[in-house]
Amino acid sequence: MKITFPHLGYCSIPLRTLFAELGHTVIVPPPISQKTISLGTLHGPEFACYPLKLGLGNFIEALEAGADTLIMGGGIGPCRFGYYAQVQQDILRSLGYEFEMIVIEPPLGHFRQVVAAAGRLKQKNSWMQLAQAASFALAKLRACDDLHQLSLKIRPRVENKAVLANLYNRALTAIDAADSHRTLKTVANRFQENIKALPQTRVEPLKVALVGEVYLLAEPAANLAIEEKLGNLGVEVIRHVYISSWLKVNILLDFLRLRRKESAEQAARPYLNCFVGGHGQHSVGETIQAVRDGLDGVVHVYPFTCTPEIVARGIMRTYAAEKNMPLICFSLDEHSAEAGFNTRLEAFVDVMQRKNGQGELTDEQALHGI
Amino acid sequence: MSKLYMGFDVGSVSTNVALVDQTGEVVYTLYKRTQGAPIRTIKAALKEVATEFGEAKIAGVGSTGSGRSLAAVMLGADLVKNEITAHAVAAGHICPGVNTVLEIGGQDSKLIILQHGVVTDFAMNSVCAAGTGSFLDQQAARLGIPIEEFGDLAEQSQNPVRIAGRCSVFAESDMIHKQQMGNDIADIVAGLCAALVRNYLNNLGKGKILKAPVVFQGGVAANKGIKKAFEDALGVEVMVPQHHGVMGAVGSALLARAHVADKPSRFLGFGISELEYASRSFECADCPNNCEVVELTCDQEVVARWGDKCGKWSSETSARTG
């Protein structure tokens, strides 16, 4: 099988590892470019959300590169993501592509389907070998998440942002290339140390919680590199939703029926006490936690037309206004204009700074930050 | 002559310049149409300033507006600021204690909420462009009414017609429909003003409490019809400052004044209006991002590049501004 999957930030690294360990040929789609966006929006329904269109673009580019098996996530509940695999499959077939699509459903309530999909993917490998490959892939995912978290913390403080960006990219490449737990650990540690050793300013940055829908949080091509922009403006981004944590909540905790114990969902409960799909409840909960933790602001990103996040937004706006917490919401899709986005982001940083009584942005940040 | 601080607001429709003195008093303003050629307009504007203030000491320069980075590189600005902050600073300086700033410019509309002189919240039009100066301009031209008389005409109306104002395309087709039905032109114009204000408040004002004092600025603030429509909708008096059309430039000059303090300015001098600036764009093919890179040259020498995600091109030329 020539396997491919849609991009989601750096998730191609663990996914490539997982399938390559099982002996498949893996065709990673080209990074999301203007061409990917054009392909996805040309063939995707206009009012479907951005993740469907970008994923569709990824699939088309991968099919063109020779892939014959598409892996896609499934789902149930109020978020439309659950039926995107089916919609994408129909669109791709209507375009004349021949392929097989394997949909990974959430294990709760679809246990048999999950086992069947895993059985197909493991081929002649034993279940033990599948578990080993999965554990190695998870280790890579965690290494990427840790590295990313470090970069968010360091970026506002580092003097030379271009050097950090370069190190970060090289680290991802090295993690991707690691062929054993041992080399993975070595390269991950080495890059962590190198990044920590970069010259830093002593100024304590503003801290902002980045909340919202998981795809828009994790995919820089979709969120117009919001984390990097905030970091370059001198703001530390605090994000709790990571792919590894998402897997934990949506796959493991859900399956073990422990989901309701999750802290962000608990925090949200006085204001939003039911599951509204996607990360709606998380966004509310994390806004409440951001106020509690004394952060300087909350940035909310979600795909245009995303129902769970729109439900959350109404609650977040009222709550943030009550608590005098700066909040800005970005609903993004292929029509998002970067100039206006940058202006709003800069102005938002000014709002936080002025509220905080701190000075303005340095001209260096203002000139080259964005 | 005392020190002066110069603010440049390079917008989509107009390029404005304001000079403030050390006390923050506005001593000079200039309003010029950008006409899609910011480089040429910046140079021409600078030339006009030079004829009046050739000998004056420019102690600081700020730039704002959608062309702020371009202006900063060309002028050697000391401070580059987004237009939201620049407008808030100007409004707070000219009308101390202001709580709400309504700003309607050429392409963008902004709503800024302040508390004790500090911006606490803001919004900018996102989904559509209705309620902006360009649209009013276009409608005035279509109806054959000089834009200066547009507001007066609206004031004459006794029963404004209701115009659909969600988006400028629909607003225009609804206006045409009302015209074909035989409605009075003054009533249509007044209805358009009300529709734009309704659209503005629905899009930007969502859930925000708009407290007096309210300041209305931007080029559109000259339009009495829109000012009246705002007063009717908000139920409070709306103030239009004297320099309403160039408040972004005023704010930018004030910010430059605060930023520069006693440091020497990086201003490159009035002589730059004689230099040959040119820009070109190309697609970088070094990685799959295929970024569109814009390159600004001054007398054939590259002075700035923008648009690359990785910083490969832009980092090479930061000497002039950094």
User: Could you read off the pLDDT of B287-302 as tens digits, one per residue?
Assistant: 777 788 999 998 888 8
Closest approach of B235 to chain A, Cα-based (Å):
23
Q: Among B58-72, B105-119, B122-136, which range has the highest average pLDDT?
A: B58-72
| Alpha carbon distance, N-terminus to C-terminus of chain B | 29
| Residue B43 binned pLDDT confidence (cut-offs 50, 70, 90) | very high
CB B237: neighbour CB atoms within 10 A?
11
Contacts with A93 (C-beta within 8 Å, 6 or more apart), sequence order? none
B275, B79, B13, B293: CA torsion to nearest 10 = 70
User: Could you read off the pLDDT of B268-283 as tens digits, one per residue?
Assistant: 999 988 899 998 999 8
The yes-or-no verdict on residue B54 having pLDDT over 80 is no
The predicted pLDDT at position B300 comes to 85
User: Are A326 and B120 a contacting pair at CB < 8 A?
Assistant: yes
Phi and psi torsions of B297, nearest 5°: -120, 150
What share of chain B in percent tops pLDDT 90? 60
The predicted pLDDT at position B170 comes to 86
Residue matched to tokens 């200039």? B30
Residues of chain A with pLDDT under 70: 250, 257-261, 358-370
Tally of CA atoms within 13 A in the half-sphere of A103 that contains its CB: 17
Residues A55-92 as b/e (b if ≥16 CB within 10 A, e otherwise) read bbbbbbbbbeeebbbbbbbbbeeebbbbebbebbbebb
The predicted pLDDT at position B311 comes to 75
Q: Are B35 and B29 in contact (CB under 8 A)?
A: no
**Nearest Cβ partner for A368 among B78, B82, B322:** B322
What is the average pLDDT across B234-244?
95
User: Could you read off the pLDDT of B78-108 as tens digits, one per residue?
Assistant: 999 999 999 999 999 999 899 999 999 888 8
The predicted pLDDT at position B321 comes to 45
Is the minimum CB–CB distance between A310 and chain B shorter than 8 Å?
A: no
CA distances from A314 to A308, A329, B4 (A): 11, 10, 46
Q: Are A26 and A13 in contact (CB under 8 A)?
A: no
- Whole-prediction pTM: 0.90
The predicted pLDDT at position A308 comes to 93
The predicted pLDDT at position B207 comes to 76
The predicted pLDDT at position A261 comes to 66
Residue of B109, B126, B289 for testing the chain A interface, max A β-carbons within 10 Å: B126
| Residue B128 binned pLDDT confidence (cut-offs 50, 70, 90) | low
Helix B38-53, helix B68-75: angle, nearest 10? 50
- B79 CB neighbours in chain A (<8 A) are 360, 363, 366
The predicted pLDDT at position A358 comes to 54
Burial (Cβ within 10 Å: 0-12, 13-18, ≥19) of residue B155? middle
User: Are B124 and A35 a contacting pair at CB < 8 A?
Assistant: no
**Nearest Cβ partner for B124 among A340, A363, A364:** A340
The predicted pLDDT at position B166 comes to 76
The predicted pLDDT at position B164 comes to 87
The yes-or-no verdict on residue B1 having pLDDT over 70 is no
What is the average pLDDT across B123-142?
80
Residue type, B234: L
Burial (Cβ within 10 Å: 0-12, 13-18, ≥19) of residue B32? middle
The yes-or-no verdict on residue B318 having pLDDT over 70 is no
User: Are B310 and A364 a contacting pair at CB < 8 A?
Assistant: no
3-state DSSP of chain A? CEEECCCCCCCHHHHHHHHHHCCCEECCCCCCCHHHHHHHHHHCCCCCCHHHHHHHHHHHHHHHCCCCEEEEECCCCCCHHHHHHHHHHHHHHHCCCCCEEEEECCCCCCHHHHHHHHHHHHCCCCHHHHHHHHHHHHHHHHHHHHHHHHHHHHCCCECCHHHHHHHHHHHHHHHHHCCCHHHHHHHHHHHHHHHHCCCECCCCCEEEEEEECHHHHHCCCCCCCHHHHHHHCCEEEECCCCHHHHHHHHHHHHHCCCHHHCHHHHHHCCCCCCCCCCCHHHHHHHHHHHHHCCCCEEEEEEECCCHHHHHHHHHHHHHHHHCCCCEEEEEECCCCCHHHHHHHHHHHHHHHHHHHCCCCCCHHHHHHCC
